[in-house]
């Protein structure tokens, strides 16, 4: 992958201690949020299911879906997720040309590609590959997140602008045969830390979907494609102090919750980060 670093921004390899502390800080923040959201969603799901129980019809009430049927549905969803991953590998082969085009537009761009510096995952189905920039999640009735991080440092005080070339595909579904509650949401974000202070300088998140289903029904979205640049998290401006170290996380999350019998909810995101780009302007 092409790497072009300008005069004002340097890519810095973190020490093991800095890398570990940075991962722990990010994990603490996201895990706390996940816990709070899960508790709220659990209460909401239980209440909605309880309220809707008296309205089960005799026809729907006699329906039954076996455990093997649900297992097959999960396997089908995971197979679809793997197809999304393969599609991202095969497409977007013009990465080098895209990076060079950005440099021709503005020489202030600092282009940096894999391998990236650190990564983090949470949940049963979450993965990151530092050497390729691949990341993704696919939770069922749970939460998952995946993040890739890169460290940079300016040689003087600057205003930084961070963006990245990140193609993403996603899918989700909520399904209730009888009665109950199913909800799923997911998104992609950029989070920037001042490593010395541990302070979050910027936390831009863009939801890709947010859907809730109550009562018997099915709702879904399959193989939808987008880019980080097409979301509200696309461009992130932040002040940088010369000599300080900064960590930029690119991450995704997905949440799925269901309560009912039978019911199922799934969230899936597959993404790839061929390169990131940082622009900088001196403040003096």
For residue 267, give its domain range. Answer: 9-282
Residue 96 pLDDT: 66
Residue 103 belongs to some domain of the structure: yes
What pLDDT score was predicted for residue 57?
56
Residue 2 lies in a domain: no
* Both tokens assigned to 175: 């399904």
Low-confidence residues of the chain, pLDDT below 70? 1-7, 52-74, 89-108, 261
How many independent structural domains does the chain possess?
1
Q: Is residue 3 part of a domain?
A: no
The Cα 48–Cα 202 span in angstroms is 36
69-109 pLDDT, tens digit per residue, is 556 666 777 777 777 777 776 665 666 666 665 655 666 67
| Per-residue pLDDT at 107 | 64
What CA dihedral angle connects 210, 91, 235 and 157, to 10 degrees? Answer: 140
Q: What is the pLDDT of residue 240?
A: 92
- In 3D space, the residue among 255, 218, 201 whose CA is nearest the CA of residue 36 turns out to be 255
d(CA 127, CA 136): 6
Domain assignment present for residue 156? The answer is yes
Task: Please state, in angstroms and rounded to a whole number, the distance separating the CA atoms of residues 19 and 95.
Answer: 28
What is the model's pLDDT at position 47? 78
For 260-281, the three-class secondary structure string (H helix, E strand, C coil) is ECCEEEEEEEEEECCEEEEEEE
Q: Is 86 exposed, middle or buried (0-12, 13-18, 19+ CB in 10 A)?
A: exposed
Token pair, residue 18, equals: 């800095």
190 within domain boundaries: yes
User: Is 1 inside any structural domain?
Assistant: no
Q: Between the CA of residue 52 and those of 9, 213, 218, 227, 252, what are the distances in Å? A: 57, 12, 16, 39, 33
Cis peptide bond upstream of 277, omega within 30: no
Q: Phi and psi (nearest 5°) for 31?
A: -65, -40
Q: Are 277 and 180 in contact (CB under 8 A)?
A: no
Provide the edge-to-edge strand list for the sheet that holds 158-165: 110-112, 275-282, 158-165, 236-240
At 140 the pLDDT is 85
- The angle at the Cα of 54, spanning 49 to 56, to the nearest 5 degrees, equals 85
The reported pLDDT for the residue numbered 282 is 86
**Separation between Cα atoms, residue 160 and residue 110, nearest integer Å:** 10
Q: Is residue 112 part of a domain?
A: yes
Structural domain contains residue 4: no
Q: Of 6, 276, 235, 278, nearest to 116 (Cα)?
A: 276
- Distance, CA of 37 to CA of 47 (rounded, Å): 16
């Amino acid at each position: 992958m092409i790497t072009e670093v300008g005069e004002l921004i340097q890519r810095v390899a973190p020490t093991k201690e800095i890398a570990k502390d940075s991962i722990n800080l990010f994990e603490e923040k996201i895990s706390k949020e996940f816990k709070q959201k899960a508790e709220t969603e659990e209460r909401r799901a239980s209440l909605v299911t309880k309220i809707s129980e008296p309205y089960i019809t005799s026809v729907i009430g006699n329906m039954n879906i076996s455990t093997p049927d649900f297992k097959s549905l999960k396997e089908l969803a995971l197979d679809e997720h793997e197809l999304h991953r393969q599609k991202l590998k095969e497409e977007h082969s013009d990465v080098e040309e895209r990076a060079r085009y950005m440099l021709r537009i503005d020489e202030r761009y600092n282009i940096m590609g894999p391998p990236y510096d650190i990564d983090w995952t949470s949940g049963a189905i979450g993965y990151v590959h530092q050497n390729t920039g691949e990341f993704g999640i696919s939770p069922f009735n749970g939460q998952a997140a995946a993040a890739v991080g890169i460290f940079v440092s300016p040689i003087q005080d600057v205003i930084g602008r961070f963006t990245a070339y990140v193609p993403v595909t996603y899918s989700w579904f909520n399904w209730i045969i009888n009665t109950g509650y199913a909800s799923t949401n997911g998104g992609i974000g950029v989070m920037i830390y001042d490593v010395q202070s541990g302070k979050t300088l910027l936390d831009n998140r863009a939801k890709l979907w947010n859907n809730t289903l109550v009562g018997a029904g099915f709702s879904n979205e399959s193989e939808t494609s987008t880019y980080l640049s097409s979301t509200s998290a696309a461009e992130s401006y932040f002040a940088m102090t010369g000599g300080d170290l900064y960590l930029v996380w690119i991450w995704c999350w997905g949440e799925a919750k269901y309560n009912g019998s039978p019911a199922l909810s799934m969230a899936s995101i597959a993404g790839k980060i061929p390169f990131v780009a940082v622009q900088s302007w001196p403040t003096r």
